[in-house]
């Protein structure tokens, strides 16, 4: 048997590493800073320690190209806006560099003080999902006469910081095209490409300064290239990078793409004068041969073959075999082995999971372990399989264990799936008939007020949950405490005058994790945290096998809460697509199959809630749009099964039972028909940061259900005024019939405190009452 070809020109790279810290040190420090318990210097010290640990961890793992500026106190797009001086006017920024208070005000809203007039209250910048992930970024606000300049030093400071530790890094920046196309025009509409030339001037100045600091290379992230970009976008990209190559010839630029295959890459590869490209070989290994065919032979290719978005181990032998075949004719080209994307989307270190089931643990890899996988693949290509023989054997054993485990495929679940019939995807009556029946049965006033589900998870709530997990208190004491919290929440809501109440979800650590803990086919980690936005971290469940519901999950708490009041109490569930999207999902079957399994489990819960007396049941699909493929060619298939999964979960409900759903920050225009096809009776959406602009899609489509546009931003500690909420509601009524309008916050309130929640809801309820008092012609 002939020996495999060896490749001497192999390096390893990391595109980014989790910045939250092994024990969420950044979250704790940031929130302490916001509350006044930690100084800015103290926050910076924690951040510096995390960066050092990350760099040293990557260096110790044998990674050749280590990133800097992948760290952020809140969000990398917000960092980029600050670096470029793109601070919206309302923040009254006039300094040389963006200060910390302005930075966090842009992210969270709040008060800014610039002159003798004292502080003024400002709204935060809008958030949106980062492509098809559960990470949220701060959307750049761009105006027609937008001026850019260097207004931050972070990227330079962190490069020097690493160099002082003896580590040469490759700074990471969001590329100019991605930055512009993910931005949002303010004021009169215009083509954001008009801003490109001025923007590139500042990029050139940044890159020149980095080169002067001693940087040898830089990573410019352009994930926008994997979407359906237009020819004008690609021409603009070519023009921009040609300018950069002329102006900064001594700095090697790697153009990084990820999350999908690059759209129409041939001309880009032949025309853009960069040192190399990074491609996602996990989402699309098929694009690698095309890149190798069109990319000039002296250009480096970085192959993202270790999954950066999921926790399953890489099939090392299969990956090495595919790479050898693809690279067979590559003799001189520089080649880099890397993760598919930044590792911020996976937890930090599997070694912390000492309590995790040993068999399932052997199937998994977190960020630290993925660094090892990158090194092992590179070693096999460079030195042969013998160099990593033990690692390959262990990997093979783990893969075989997973493939053969009876825990993964469950006969009863598969039999039930096979029995699903077309009737299981439809409600008993059409929506118009249902809404009429529900209006009579529920007897709610115009502009009914409610909340999205959760109430503040106070330090006391978190403390008691931790005590229960540590078995310092028994279940009887813990449940008594939860009942007290629910009773308090019901009393507060009644006092506020809310029309439809919720129990507050104090028993839930997370809207997905809570359900996963009670479903078969899921496993949970102790420290598997990932960043969702800012200081908000989530611990996604891991779906390793077939999913089913052994027993009721929410009925006990619904019954207790409803027993405390004569007002309507909502049953609160998370939908199948959101549970899927916000979990680490098994990769050995189609995602649609797993979504339907979850849909059946939620269907059983809907039936049990209805039997317990629930007249309104909310099934949150916050991540519905997030799962949309990045290319429109894949939309129809996804939307078909995603809609069916939701309908499967709720079609068992009686026509008089009102089904609500909730969706987070999204652009709804292009999927509004699918949202309507979900056949929910009421939908609530996050809307306040966009100032009701997101409602336009519902207005144009003439959405047939009822709508609750969020009237205030729960991601900000800022308390809205009644007048502000009334203005938003009047704006909403320009496109939504008054009789179909609900009044609610943007999202759940678990991250807020009662000190902000109570006055915010008071203002919201008062605004609704004022609208009810108006004559129809005045509304």
- Residues with a catalytic annotation lie at 715
Q: For residue 449, give the DSSP letter.
A: B
Asked if residue 501 lies in contact with residue 493, where contact means CB atoms within 8 angstroms, the answer is yes
Six-digit token pair at 387?
């160099």
Antiparallel, parallel or unpaired: β 217-221 and 252-256? parallel
Which of helix, strand or coil describes residue 450?
Answer: coil
Antiparallel, parallel or unpaired: β 520-523 and 682-685? unpaired
d(CA 779, CA 761): 21
Cβ neighbours for 624, distance < 8 A, ≥ 6 positions apart? 575, 577, 578, 642, 646, 663, 666, 671, 675, 678
Cα 212 from chain centroid (whole Å) = 36
Q: For residue 392, give the DSSP letter.
A: H
Asked if residue 687 lies in contact with residue 694, where contact means CB atoms within 8 angstroms, the answer is yes
- Residues 387-401, buried b or exposed e (16+ Cβ, 10 A)? bbeebbeebeebbee
Alpha helices in 651-753 (DSSP H): 672-677, 696-701, 722-733
Six-digit token pair at 662?
């909730």
DSSP one-letter string for 577-621: HHHHHTSB--SSS-HHHHHHHHHHHHHHHHHHHHHTT-SEEEEE-
Please state the φ and ψ torsions of residue 687, each to the nearest 5 degrees.
Answer: -140, -20
Six-digit token pair at 62?
């044998």
474 backbone φψ class: left, alpha, beta (φ>0; ψ -120 to 50)? beta
Strands (DSSP E) contained in 281-388 are: 300-306, 335-339
Please state the φ and ψ torsions of residue 308, each to the nearest 5 degrees.
Answer: -95, 0
214 backbone φψ class: left, alpha, beta (φ>0; ψ -120 to 50)? left
Asked if residue 584 lies in contact with residue 133, where contact means CB atoms within 8 angstroms, the answer is no
Q: For residue 728, give the DSSP letter.
A: H
Antiparallel, parallel or unpaired: β 520-523 and 542-548? antiparallel
Six-digit token pair at 141?
């606000």
Strands (DSSP E) contained in 464-559 are: 500-501, 520-523, 530-533, 536-538, 542-548
Antiparallel, parallel or unpaired: β 335-339 and 520-523? unpaired
Asked if residue 593 lies in contact with residue 98, where contact means CB atoms within 8 angstroms, the answer is no
d(CA 478, CA 285): 50
Asked if residue 248 lies in contact with residue 207, where contact means CB atoms within 8 angstroms, the answer is yes
Six-digit token pair at 271?
């025309």
DSSP one-letter string for 229-255: --HHHHHHHHHHHHHHHHH-TTSEEEE
Asked if residue 492 lies in contact with residue 760, where contact means CB atoms within 8 angstroms, the answer is no
Six-digit token pair at 320?
């090495």
């Amino acid at each position: 048997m002939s020996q495999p070809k060896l490749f001497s020109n192999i390096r390893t790279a990391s595109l980014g590493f989790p910045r939250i810290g092994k024990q969420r040190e950044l979250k704790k420090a940031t929130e302490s800073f916001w509350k006044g318990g930690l100084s800015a210097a103290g926050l910076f010290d924690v951040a510096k320690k995390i960066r050092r640990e990350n760099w040293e961890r990557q260096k110790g793992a044998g990674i050749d190209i280590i990133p800097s500026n992948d760290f952020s106190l809140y969000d990398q797009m917000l960092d980029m806006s600050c670096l470029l001086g793109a601070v919206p006017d309302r923040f009254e920024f006039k300094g040389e560099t963006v200060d910390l208070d302005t930075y966090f005000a842009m992210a969270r809203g709040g008060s800014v003080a610039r002159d003798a007039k004292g502080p003024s209250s400002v709204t935060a910048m809008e958030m949106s999902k980062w492509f098809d992930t559960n990470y949220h970024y701060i959307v750049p606000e761009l105006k027609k006469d937008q001026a850019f300049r260097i207004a931050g030093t972070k990227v330079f400071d962190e490069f020097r910081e690493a160099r002082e530790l003896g580590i040469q890094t490759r700074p990471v920046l969001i590329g100019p095209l991605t930055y512009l196309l993910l931005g949002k025009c303010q004021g009169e509409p215009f083509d954001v490409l008009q801003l490109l030339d001025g923007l590139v001037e500042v990029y050139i100045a940044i890159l020149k300064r980095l080169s002067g600091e001693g940087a040898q290379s830089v990573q410019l992230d352009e994930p926008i290239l994997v979407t359906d970009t237009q020819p004008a976008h690609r021409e603009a990209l070519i023009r921009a990078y040609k300018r950069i190559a002329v102006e900064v010839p001594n700095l090697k630029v790697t153009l990084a793409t990820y999350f999908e295959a690059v759209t129409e890459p041939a001309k880009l590869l032949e025309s853009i004068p960069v040192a190399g490209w990074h491609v996602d070989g996990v989402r699309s290994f098929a694009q690698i041969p095309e890149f190798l065919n069109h990319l000039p032979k002296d250009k480096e290719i970085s192959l993202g073959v270790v999954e950066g978005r999921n926790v399953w181990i890489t099939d090392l032998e299969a990956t090495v075999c595919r790479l050898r075949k693809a690279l067979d004719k590559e003799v001189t080209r520089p080649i880099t082995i890397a993760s598919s994307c930044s590792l911020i989307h996976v937890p930090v270190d599997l070694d912390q999971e000492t309590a995790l089931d040993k068999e399932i643990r052997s199937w998994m890899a977190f960020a630290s372990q993925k660094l090892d996988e990158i090194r092992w693949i590179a070693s096999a290509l460079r030195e042969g399989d013998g160099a990593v023989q033990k690692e390959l054997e262990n990997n093979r054993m783990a893969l075989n264990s997973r493939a053969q485990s009876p825990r993964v495929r469950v006969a009863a679940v598969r039999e039930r799936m096979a029995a699903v019939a077309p009737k299981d995807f439809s409600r008993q009556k059409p929506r118009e008939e249902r809404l009429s029946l529900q209006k009579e049965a529920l007897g709610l006033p115009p502009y009914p007020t409610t909340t999205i589900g959760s109430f503040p998870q106070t330090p006391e709530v978190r403390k008691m949950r931790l005590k229960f997990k540590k078995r310092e208190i028994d279940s009887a004491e813990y449940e008594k405490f939860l009942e007290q919290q629910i009773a308090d929440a019901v009393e507060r809501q009644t006092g506020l005058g809310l029309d439809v109440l919720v129990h507050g979800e104090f028993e839930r650590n997370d809207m997905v994790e809570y359900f996963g803990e009670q479903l078969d086919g899921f496993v949970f980690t102790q420290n598997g945290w990932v960043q969702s936005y800012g200081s908000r971290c989530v611990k996604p469940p891991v779906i390793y096998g077939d999913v089913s519901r052994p027993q009721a999950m929410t009925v006990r708490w619904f019954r207790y809460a409803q027993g405390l009041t004569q007002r309507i109490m909502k049953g609160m569930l998370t939908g199948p697509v959101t549970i899927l999207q916000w979990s680490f999902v098994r990769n050995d079957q189609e995602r649609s199959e797993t979504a339907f399994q979850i849909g059946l489990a939620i269907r059983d819960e809907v039936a049990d809630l209805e039997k317990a007396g629930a007249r309104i049941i909310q099934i949150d699909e916050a991540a519905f749009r997030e799962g949309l493929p990045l290319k429109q060619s894949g939309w129809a298939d996804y939307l078909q099964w995603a809609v069916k999964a939701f309908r499967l979960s709720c079609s068992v409900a009686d026509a008089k039972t009102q089904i609500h759903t909730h969706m987070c920050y999204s652009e709804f225009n292009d999927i509004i028909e699918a949202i309507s096809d979900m056949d929910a009776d009421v939908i609530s959406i996050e809307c306040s940061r966009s100032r009701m602009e997101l409602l336009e899609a519902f207005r144009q489509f003439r959405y047939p259900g009822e709508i609750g546009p969020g009237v205030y931003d729960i991601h900000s500690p800022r308390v809205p005024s009644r007048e502000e909420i009334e203005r938003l509601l009047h704006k909403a009524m320009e496109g939504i019939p008054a009789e179909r309008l609900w009044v609610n916050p943007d999202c759940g309130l678990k991250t807020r405190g009662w000190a902000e929640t109570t006055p915010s809801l008071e203002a919201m309820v008062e605004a609704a009452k004022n609208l009810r008092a108006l004559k129809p012609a005045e509304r």
